Amino acid sequence: MGQLSVRDLAARVRRSPVRCGTTRVVLIDGPAGSGKTTLGGRLGEEMCAQVIHGDDIYEGWDGLPTMWPILGHGILEPLSRHEHGAFGRWDWYEGRRAETIPVPVADTLVIEGVGVGQRAARDFASLVVFVEAPWDVRVARGVERDGEAMRNEWERWQASEQVFLADEGVRGAADVIVDGTQPYLD
């Protein structure tokens, strides 16, 4: 898919089946720096939906394998039972869980981040979106956001995310594939 109309994507979400209680869950996955957060924010705004960020779920730079208890047990499973979810936001500076982020039952919930489209989560998803961009674009975005001092962490993360996304078959299972180098249209 070339340029993405956020309005068209929102319409597609609204036509998608509800698979998590009464909540349509949109999982926006793809490698770090591809444009997931931007798309998630725009889609959340368009749909008046809460947006949950993978960065608040992972337990630091080694957090991909640790995300299911939060994503699954803290968010998706309660919503599937028509119950509110919640989780402690990961504080990257303190290296521990911080304040609780409530996840109330709602019409739509957008969850964006590397690995959120893993197999177990897809059972709850109305729509899985995969955002991609070339490595040089992604690392430039990451260094711009996090600083040059974090380049080694970005490269280490990239190696682990590549394996995780491949093992989970996220791109192949996506309902929509987005070119994260193209602007998102209204």
Residue 166: CB atoms within 10 A of its CB come to 11
For the segment 31-56, what is each residue's pLDDT rounded down to a tens digit?
Answer: 999 999 999 999 999 999 999 999 99
**3 pLDDT band (50/70/90 cuts)?**
low
The distance from CA 133 to its chain's CA centroid, rounded to whole angstroms, is 15
Threshold 0.75, pTM exceeds: yes
What CA–CA distance (Å, rounded) separates 150 from 91?
16
pLDDT, one tens digit per residue, over 100-112 is 999 999 999 999 9
The domain that contains 133 carries what CATH number?
Answer: 3.40.50.300
Phi, psi of 181 (to 5 degrees): -90, -10
Domains: count for the chain: 1
Structural domain span for residue 112? 4-185
Q: Is 3 exposed, middle or buried (0-12, 13-18, 19+ CB in 10 A)?
A: exposed
Rounded Cα gap, residues 50 and 105, in angstroms:
10
- Residue 1 to residue 34: CA distance in whole angstroms: 14
